[in-house]
Amino acid sequence: MVNKDQVAGLAKQIKGSVKKAAGKATGNRRVQAEGSADKIAGKLQKAYGDVKDRVRKAL
Residue 2 has a pLDDT of: 87
The whole-number mean pLDDT for each consecutive block of 10 residues of the chain, a chain of 59 residues, reads 92 97 97 97 97 93
Residue 1 has a pLDDT of: 76
Q: Cα separation of 31 and 20, whole Å? A: 6
Q: Cα separation of 32 and 53, whole Å? A: 32
Q: Cα separation of 26 and 31, whole Å? A: 9
Q: Cα separation of 31 and 49, whole Å? A: 27
The full set of domain ranges for the chain reads: 4-58
**Shortest CA distance to 20 belongs to which of 44, 3, 5, 38?**
38
Residue 34 has a pLDDT of: 97
